[in-house]
Structure formats: C-alpha cells, structure tokens
Structure 1
C-alpha cells in the first residue's frame, strides 16, 4: 500500500512531465529531467501579518505558485525548528529542544551525529550542488567551527543577529564585514546566491540551496535604503492584544500585568522595524528569481519561501517572543513555485516544517532515511483535494531564561479546528478555533469529556511517535472515547 509520505513512481512521473522541455528528444540525458533545482529562502521569526508587506515575494512566488494557509512549526523556537527542517523529525526525536547546550544548539546537534544525515547529505549524494548561505544553527561560530558535511558551498555566519560587523565562514575561509552599506548581510547573501545560481547553471548541475537571512529577527535592522519606511503603518491589534481577561490562562500568564504604555509603543516600533528589515529579503527574492530567469533555470526550479517560526507581539499580554503554542507563534508562511505547480492556488491541509526535508527529497527523486517523521507535500502541489494529516504535535522543552514567554514545558495537539495544550505544571488549555480563533476563552471545563479523553490519548501517543508511526497517528480520526475517569 502506497504511503503519501514516501517517494513513489507517480512523483517521478509528475517531475518528468513538469520539467522535461517541450522540445526534448530521446537522445537527451533522462537524468536532467528528474533533478530540478530546489531553492529555499528561509526568513527568521516571520509572522503572517508581516509577510503581507512583501510585494515582490507575493508577486514572484505566491501568485506564481501555491500558498499553504495552514503551515505550522512543531516547535516554535529557532534551533529546534531548523534542526527539524534539516532532518524532517519532531524535536523529541532529533532531541534539539533549545538554542543552547545542554537542551539544544549547534554543539548538541553535532555531538549527536546529526550532521551526517541531513537534507544536504541526501541530495549531495544524489549529485546535487548544495549550498547554505546565512544562518545555520544557534551556537555555530564561523571562527571556531568548520563547515558541516554535505554542503559544497558553505557561506555561513553566526554568533550574532546583526546585519553588520559579522564574520562569514566561506568554505573554511573567514571573511569579515564591517558596517558600510555594502556590508549589509542580507544583500551580501543575495549577491552570493546569484553567483551560485550562475555557476551551477554553467556546469549544468542541479542545485539545492538554502538562503537564510536573519531578518526580521530582533533587532530587525533595516538596510539603509529602507529606513523610514512604514512610519504611518499601524500594527494589527487583534482581540488577543493585551488581553483584558486572562483568568482562564496558565498561572504564568495570569500573573502577567497588562502591557504598559512604553511596551505598547516599543512593540509598535519593533513591528515597523520588522517590516523594514523584510524589504531586503523581498529584494533578495527578486534577485534570485531574476538570476534563475537569466540562466534559463526558472522553469526547472522549485522556489520555496518560508520561516522557522512565527512571532507574537503583545498577544495574551506577552511582550515579544515565539515559544508558545498559540497561533501567532506556531504559524509561518509557506509558498512554493515550481515546474508544474499551478499559479495562484491555495491549500488548507495541515503542513509542517517536519515535511520540508522529505518534500525536497521527493522533488529530487531521493528516498529519505527511515527516521524521518514528516511526509512529502509534493502531491499537494498538484492536487489540493488529497486527504492529509488530521492532527499534529507541538512541543516545548527549553528552560532558557532569556526567552521567558509563558510556561516553559508543554505538549499540545493541534487539529484542524482545535488545540489542547498540557503544561508541565499540570495546567491545561483547550480552544475551539472555529468559535474562538484568537484563543480568548479556555474551554477546558466545557469540552466533551469523551473528546477530551481521545485528544489526551492521541497527544500521549504523538509525544513518543517515530517515523511512519507519527504519520499513521496524525492521519487517524480522533473519535470521542469514554473512559472510567471521563464518566465521573
């Protein structure tokens, strides 16, 4: 029985039909038909509201491809999410559960041996030219650490979130940049990306490239040409902003006072800085598209745009951050343009960052390792009516004091219309997202006990799932189930 998460012959047929030029002849090498370029542009901490202010990306990628309205991250924090993107696993399986040692970070990723098997090593072994530009994993220091296995082009910085005064490790050579306008990191990454595209095209080698700028991560420094933009743009303030009544929230939020005026002003200005900093990412997308067009590669390239997590700004009285299970943090943009991908279509299925690595593998015709928890969403690009996962797991395990944005340990199960969150403190939240999309009313005391029992059981199963078992659990219906405790 075919499993939707495994590369199958039909996938190769789609690729053949989509990528083979109309004038192709039987004498041309078949391999070129099956190996499209794959380019991921991965922003840092980009929320959905801010993504609306990227006109070039929306015109060149979103309007020319498919957008996923329900794309989520399984752990809304930088290093756990990026480890998931590289390996296609839930954090409880790759065990990167924070940004710093010992819960997570680059040092733990390397110590666990994870660099020996990532999307880079899989595609490099299949003949791809692989390139990573920008951010790798938190804790990577370009002056101290060598390039990771599987990457032919390593153009990576670290140790700072500044767009100025940084060091890049370029295939082992250190390149230092200052604070001149031409040193602006996102622009430097764009220039390097264009060069890599041109070199790969000249050598007729398929390219897998990740371009990972810091923007709009704090401090969200804009390029000089974008300073002063959006001065009059008002930040969206949903009903959850500075939430008036948090009496049904966990204690950590109940104890949080209403936002002070200085906090509200700071959040608004930071929102504008984030919009400003995203404009250079928007420019980089345009430069990449133009380079693909100029080299004749645009028709055989999957161009993917996403972010490592969302970001909250004042919702539920929380200042700024990203490590909750609330919608603002777990949602991120995902749009895909590529060969055979219909233009301007939307998909509503529940897609995860767990799915990126296996999807890239499927695009390249590569079988991912058995440890992968995610599944390829390549079929969804061609058929928006396919059945998909019904639920997924959200995790948090880090206790790092610089990121205090709510209770530090939780597991949550998200379905198409609800979320159940169980904290390490024993506190629980349940939100009916159809009735309450802003998660204002915790209905844990109102939910059907039989449904609550089923959700709790499925949550427990997901927290220990691995590989195809995760996919099987995610696909199963959650039927209300009575138990002795639920009948009391």
Structure 2
C-alpha cells in the first residue's frame, strides 16, 4: 500500500543539513579480522541505527527533516515489515538476527518474554566489538531491562533507559554503570544529546563504530499509576497538529462493521471512539517532531566530525500500529498496519531518492550490518543481507516471510503464519482461528477468505509453507517456494 505522503507533492528546503553522499557502496570483504597493518587506516564504514517505538509507516509523512535527509538522499524500502510486531521480540530480532523460535523472545513478558528470555552473551555488540568496531547503545532496550541486570558484553558505551522508561519527562539512563537521572526534562532530547556525544567520542578514535539510538516516541506514556496515557510532546510541539486527521479514519477497515469473519484478535470488539483516535494520532505526531529534529541534529554531528560520508544511517520502527482498523488500537496482531514499518537508509553509494519494493524485514538488518562491516557473526542468522538491494542490484530474495505474534502465557505463541507479495495467512496452535487475506483484491484486509472454497488450494499451499518455516533457522528461513496458486476461477 502506497504511503499517504507519496500522493502529494513534497517541497522542502533544508539548508546545511546534508552534503552529497559519497559514491561507491562499501562491499563486504568477507573478513572478520580486526587486525590491520600498523599505521593503516581502518576505512570500514560506520553504522548508525535510529529507531522509533510503535511508529506506523504513514506517520513518516509528518517528519519532513527525516524525509529530506534519508528519503531524498538515500533509499526508501517500501515493503519493510516487522515480522513479529511487538516491542521486545522485534528488538531481540535486531540484536540477534534471529526469529523468536531461535532467540527465545516471543512476547514482552511471561516465561518466554522480556529481556530475561534472551541470552545476552552472543549479540550484535559482541560481533562488532570483536571485529574492531567501537560500539554504543543509547535509549530503550528490551522490555524488563533494569540497572540491576548484567551488562551485555561487547558494548563500549552502554546507556539504556533503566527507570521511567515510558515516562517521557522523568527517567534515568544507566550511563555505563553510573546512573544519571533527569527530572522535568524530555526523553527524546536527552537521547539526542547522548547520541551526539557518543558520535563525537567515537569519531576521535581511528576505529569505525556501530551506534544504536533507540527512541521512545511515539509509544504511549505510562503515568505514575502505570496507566496508559497519550505520548507527551516536547514543550515547543504541544499545540501542533490540532486539526490533523488520522488516515485510518478513511480506510474501509476503520471501525469495521462486520468482524464476525475476522480472527480472534479483532472479533467481538467495540467500535473505536473517533475522538480518542484523533487525540492519540495527534499526540503521536507531536512526539515524533523531536525525533525528526534529533535525526537532523545527528546528521549535523556526523558531518561536523567528518564521519558522514563513510556512515550508513538507518531509520526504522520496531513495529507498526493500528489506530482503529478492524476496531483495534495497538500492535501484536498480524495486520498490515502492525507489520509495515518505515525503513530508510542513506550512506555511501546509495542512489539519492531511490526506492526498493524488495521484501525486507527487521530480521534482515543484522545480516546487512555485518555485510557492510565485512564481519562474520557468531550466531546463525535467519535474515538476508540487504546490501545488494542498497546497491540497486538484482537480489535473490525470499518469496515467503515468516510472521508471528506471541502471548504472555502457555507456550508463548499466538498467531503464526506467512506473508507473500499477495497473501497473508496465519493460524493459532492446533490450526485454529485461521485467517487468509488476499491483499491484491482486498488491500485493507476486510475479508477473511480462509474458509472460502475458492481459496482452498491457496490455503493448502500457504499452510505447507507455514509448517516448513515454523522451526526454520538460518538459510531454511529464506527458501523460494514459487508463486502461490490463484484462487479457483481466476
């Protein structure tokens, strides 16, 4: 589905934020050795990853600086998804390059959820550190991580939020074991400042660096009683977007009249409150404005330190978010609004203003980072490197992607299924609660055709793929199955 902001004419002049990016993508050398000749320069690229929390794809239209710096100057991967659309499983995928059946994190909490479910010994920080990179993490880490828990190995600068993670105004960073608290401040601005400080510190050394800067916005806020509240804006943004209309209101799936054919997650829900949806959407936009400014500030810092031309800058969200589609507000469901995420990349050799419709997922990103750095991870990665896509080359890509959601009880699983260019299919344990959407004929996923006799052959084919991917690992997660059959009569 095309992003809403593509349909209008974008006009934006941002002076002095970004020079032309250098040509020539740094290819993967295939070596993980950090040993170099004495006095030789280490010209491997830097990698900086900026991530938001719960941002859906179309909200990028309200981030003009990020669009100018990364869309106009880099590549927009328009079919990028979070294949496990919930905070902690998505973040675990990004530090391991593995699906939940392999890294252990199936939900935010419960016996198979949260930071406690992840073995922290062998993650992306270790791979890059052992390969001679400087490494840094700043912002929101996996759910449940606190100051009392062990520091994952491999991070030179370890600065996650450990208290007031969802407060926005009163919070604490671990600060490499010397906690630093903020009161009546703003979390996005604090992450911006700490990220820029890390860039300046890393730039003073000869080694390349990997830096993760993971923001809280536009995730909902938790108040003092741990109740959900609207995300808080920075002071200068509190009166903005008072008339902005949520795109979800204009979708056929919004407040869907008949959800009797829909899966359990959508059935038996009340019609969403339009005023609540408007208020949440506008609050989310306000919270994203500070992230938009932080991206511009980061680019300025990279430029002033002389590192911009040799840095790959990634912008993404951990998962998408529904705002009333199928009567649902939230995530952790298998619907396009939860799966689709923004994924923008700018860096050496990436064609400015380019786009790619190649299937991409968060699981692919660690493989991509490793390929750009020329290192070999010690975990078996379930994703594919996107470097050929970034080069604009024809790439061998999967035609069927595993998608799944978790639960905080039982075996930790909820829906598990597959997504192709045309179909989304999933079931729960015991093959119950099946859902099958034909997104070519029904792009808003308002008709579940799992029980439609015309789709019997389609369902059989997709069920076979689902079963083969449920326990996949490594290359077996990326097989090409071929074109699924058409419905009978087409």
Where on the TM-score scale, by shorter chain, does this alignment land: which range? 0.7 to 0.9
The alignment status of 1:57 with 2:61, answered yes or no, reads: no
What is the TM-score of this pair, normalised by structure 1? Answer: 0.86
The CA deviation at 1:292 is 0.7
Deviation of 1:155 after TM superposition, in Å, equals 1.3
Q: Does 1:79 align with 2:92?
A: no
Whole-angstrom distance in 2 between the partners of 1:408 and 1:305: 29
C-alpha spacing 1:351/1:252, structure 2 compared with 1 (3 Å): closer
Give the CA deviation at 1:384: 4.8
SS of alignment partner, residue 85 of structure 1: helix
Residue 337 to residue 231, structure 1, CA distance change in 2 (3 Å): same
Aligned-partner Cα distance in 1 for 2:323–2:271: 13
Mapping of 1:408-419 within 5 angstroms? 409-419=414-424
Relative to the length of structure 2, the TM-score reads 0.86
CA distance in 1, matches of 2:409, 2:60: 28
Over residues 94-140 of structure 1, what are the superposed CA-to-partner deviations in whole Å (9 max), with x where a residue is unaligned?
1101111312111221xxxx211111110011111101001111001
Deviates more, 1:270-279 or 1:248-257: 248-257
1:449 partner SS: helix
User: The residue matched to 1:399 in structure 2 has which SS?
Assistant: coil
State the partner residue of 1:430. Answer: 436
Counterpart in the other structure of 1:95: 104
For residue 48 of structure 2, give the secondary structure of its aligned residue in structure 1. strand
Aligned pair partner of 2:356 in 347, 350, 353: 347
- Higher normalized helix content (fraction of residues): 1
Q: Is the alpha carbon distance of 1:187 and 1:126 closer, same or farther for their aligned partners in structure 2, counting shifts above 3 Å?
A: same
Instruction: Determine the structure 2 residue equivalent to 1:358.
Output: 367
Q: 1:289 aligns with which of 283, 299, 308?
A: 299
Q: For the Cα contact (< 8 Å) 1:98–1:400, is it kept in 2?
A: no
Tell me, what secondary structure is at the counterpart of 1:52?
helix
How is 1:361-400 mapped onto 2 (pairs within 5 angstroms)? Answer: 361-399=370-408
Tell whether 2:17 aligns with 1:15.
no
> Could you say if the C-alpha distance between residues 169 and 282 of structure 1 is closer, same or farther in structure 2, counting changes exceeding 3 Å?
same
Give, in whole Å, the separation in 2 of the partners of 1:31 and 1:476. 44
Q: Is the 8 A contact 1:452 1:480 kept in 2?
A: no
Q: 2: distance between equivalents of 1:148 and 1:274?
A: 31
Paired residues in the alignment total 443
Pick one of 93, 114, 123 that aligns with 1:118.
Answer: 123
- Per-residue deviation, 1:408: 7.1
Q: Which moved more, 1:124-133 or 1:444-453?
A: 444-453
- 1:326/1:94 CA distance change after superposition, 3 Å: same
SS of match in other structure, 1:32: coil
SS in 2 for 1:167: strand
What SS is found at the alignment partner of 1:315? Answer: coil
Structure 2: runs of 5+ lacking an equivalent? 1-23, 30-36, 222-230
Contact 1:454 1:478 in 2 (8 A): no
- Report SS of the residue matched to 1:394: strand
Give me the whole-angstrom Cα distance separating, in 1, the residues matched to 2:40 and 2:389. 25
The structural deviation recorded for 1:478 is 4.5
Mapped contact 1:71–1:352 kept (Cα < 8 A): yes
1:128 aligns with 2:141: no
**Matched residue SS, 1:281:** helix
Tell me, in whole angstroms, the C-alpha distance in 2 between the residues paired with 1:239 and 1:163: 34
Relative distance call for 1:129 and 1:370 in structure 2 (3 A) is closer
1:161 to 166, 183, 205: 166
The corresponding residue for 2:476 is 469
Q: Is the 8 A contact 1:119 1:360 kept in 2?
A: no
> What runs of 5+ residues in structure 1 fail to find an aligned partner?
1-12, 19-26, 402-406
SS at match of 1:396: strand
Distance verdict in 2 for CA 1:80–1:16, change over 3 Å: closer
1: distance between equivalents of 2:169 and 2:353?
36
Deviation string, structure 1 residues 70-110 (Cα, Å, up to 9, x no partner): 0011111100010001001111111101111312111221x
Distance 1:104 1:351, change over 3 A: same
Residues 36-435 of structure 1 mapped to structure 2, 5 A cutoff: 36-109=45-118, 114-142=119-147, 144-159=148-163, 160-179=165-184, 183-219=185-221, 220-236=231-247, 237=249, 238-259=251-272, 263-318=273-328, 320-399=329-408, 409-424=414-429, 426-435=432-441
Secondary structure class of the residue paired with 1:60: helix
Q: 1:252 to 1:344 in 2, by over 3 A?
A: closer
Q: Is the 8 A contact 1:222 1:276 kept in 2?
A: yes
Cα offset for 1:14? 4.3
Q: Distance in 2 between matches of 1:48 and 1:266?
A: 20
For residues 414 and 157 of structure 1, the distance between their equivalents in structure 2, rounded to whole angstroms, comes to 34
8 Å Cα contact 2:111-2:408 kept in structure 1: no
Rounded to whole Å, the distance in 2 between the matches of 1:189 and 1:252 is 34
> 1:455, 1:478 within 8 Å by CA — same for their partners in 2?
no
